[in-house]
A and B are shown apart, each in its own frame.
Chain A
Amino acid sequence: MSNHAILEVKNLKVNFDVSSEGDMPWTKAKKLQAVNDISFSLNAGETLGIVGESGCGKSTLARAIVKMVPAESGEVVWLGNDLLGLSNAETRPYRKQIQMIFQDPLASLNPRMNIGEIIAEPLRTHYPKTPESDIQARVSDVMSKVGLLDNLMNRYPHEFSGGQCQRIGIARALILKPKLIICDEPVSALDVSIQAQVVNLLMDLQEEMDLALIFIAHDLSVVKHISTKIMVLYLGNMVELANSEDIYKSPSHPYTQALISAVPIPDPSVEKNKNLIMIEGDLPSPINPPSGCVFRTRCQKAQDICSQDKPEFKEVSSNHEVACHFND
């Protein structure tokens, strides 16, 4: 592991225009802040886990990094180059270094192509002159890496189980030997035993190929297992960013504390006596976020200052940053 940051995201903002029913064509669309002012950096070989409720902007953040959704402002610096400033054609060479794995394993594979074609597609796209024998060799190589037999190459996606489909997706992401893989909830559509297989496979591959991972999930135990750093998002805002161990040992933000208290402990006696922090109410609308601290409407510690000032994102200890007024 090197300590050189390969990816730096600086003050990234993504807004969506939302037009409501009954709007006239000239009415200005409302802005929905999907991702608000997010910054982090990622070193080679590291894993950043991103957790948060549904609709808190996890997937949008991932899509903004690979330019699938346009960012409002901010920078995505990949090995010293700001990707957001580049045109589509200029971005293409970088696309082979950043790959993505998707949530629905079957939907992410074209049903009319066989597995060999699907896995080879990135290779054919970026190195169109590769001879067919080399492509075959690379495909079967990468298939054995993810634990698939290479005689399945001529089969079609519908003939595979969810876990196998996810392995195929991983194989497709690996074939160009990328430096970063963004995993958008790669295991939430799989059952628990398969989840473990896929997560362990990702970790093995990470070690072997010195991959950096951005791992999005809403299952905290999975994220804890795989991540070196964890970022907690709430309503498009970062509320806490720290090393994986720190965040579990000493969560500083009330939201993180509540999230972690909700993780079931596999011991009935401990589980029963656990102090569960309940969060009341619903997620506020991101079209009209609360003033000041976004979490204040549901926070037990909320006071006047929370509605007036937005808490700054500051370090409470080394490599542990929190956005809350009540941290020493």
Chain B
Amino acid sequence: MIVANKSKIKKMAENLSESGAGRSLWKDARMRFMQNKAATISLFILISIVLFSFIGPYFAVWSYEQIDWNAMGSAARVGMPSIESGHFFGTDDLGRDLYSRVIQGTQISLMVGVLGASVAVVVGTLYGATSGYLGGKIDQIMMRIVDILMSIPYMFVLILLLVVFGRSIGMLFIGIGLLSWLDMSRIVRGQTLNLKNKEFIEAARVTGVTDFKIITRHIVPNLLGIVAVYATLLVPGIILAESFISFLGLGVQEPSTSWGALIKEGAGTISYDTEWQLLFPLAFFVVSLFCFYFIGDGLRDALDPKER
């Protein structure tokens, strides 16, 4: 009788668990993220901006370096935003089409932000996880190196690099990438130290799993949450740094441009009644940064372990 009951219960249980597929923490997190309206809308807007920067050029009448001789020098009267002239966002003081230039600036700024953050994520995660997992003297040495690098003023080094080695996007990447992984490695190391003593790591070690597999299979997947959050918050930080450098006139080189460079030009001519030169790039800049921060915030809430 007991056996019969058991099989019945088993059948019932099988029916109850409809699919049998579990909800992983990632699925849970995605659901929580989707419930966060600000974050979802931000993600949507950001995707639109990215798409715009790729599709936008097909609708442009002027290229980003072409000069409209009519508008040159008289941007306030001729170069205002209009559909007929093909300058949807107006022109800058040299008569170049602001629509194309904003698109160009968006591409460059986002690329700097995303690539810079990726460098920081890869280097920082590997460095931090190695330091944390190995521990002891190696950990001490690796973290003191980070301390030393951190104590050097960031902007100063960046400006010095650009002045000494010349202005170029490549140099900007190296400068930003070189220093932005420091915080990342700190955060990752702290998390690794925390994870290292968890019982599931010990269980893996008792079983005989190798150190390398433990790092890749057990530590890194558990770090990804915090890394993802930090990376989304790092992107706007790097965009800001690049914009600041460009604002100082040290960033990207003409005729290429970036949000910071455009904002600088716009701000310089604001007294000549050409406010669109400031407002268009500024709007893109501000909206994108807001979106990144909201997404980062949403991710942090969604991946917060306390919510489990």
Contact = CB atoms under 8 A, between A and B. Distances in A.
Interface string B174-211: 00000000000000000000000011101111111100
Contact of B218 (A66, A96, A110, A126): A110
B77 interface: no
Given A149-B13, A156-B24, A68 B208 contact: no
B17 A126 contact: no
A108 to B, nearest CB: 4
Between B13, B200, B204, the greatest number of chain A beta carbons within 10 A of the residue's beta carbon is seen for B200
Contacts of B202: 68, 100, 102, 108
Interface in A82-136: 91-92, 95-96, 98-100, 102-104, 107-115, 121-122, 125-126
Contact of A110 (B17, B26, B200, B206): B200
Please classify the interface of chain B as helix (H, G, I), strand (E, B), loop, or mixed, using the class held by over half of its residues: helix
Interface residues of B, number: 28
B225 to A, nearest CB: 9
A121 B308 contact: no
B210 to A, nearest CB: 8
A100 B199 CA distance: 11
Contacts of A107: 198-200
Nearest to B213: A125
Contacts of B21: 154-155
Contacts of B14: 149, 151
Given A99-B207, A149-B10, A154 B22 contact: yes
B209 A112 contact: no
A132 to B, nearest CB: 17
Interface string A42-76: 00000000000000000000000010100000000
Q: Name the interface size band of chain A.
A: 35 or more
Nearest to B27: A156
A93 to B, nearest CB: 8
A21 interface: no
Interface of B: 10, 13-14, 17, 20-26, 198-200, 202-209, 213, 217-218, 221-222, 308
6 contacts: A68-B205, A104-B199, A114-B22, A121-B209, A126-B208, A152-B20
Given A121-B209, A125-B207, 15 more contacts: A107-B199, A107-B200, A108-B199, A108-B200, A111-B25, A112-B221, A115-B22, A121-B207, A125-B209, A126-B208, A149-B17, A152-B17, A153-B20, A158-B25, A159-B22
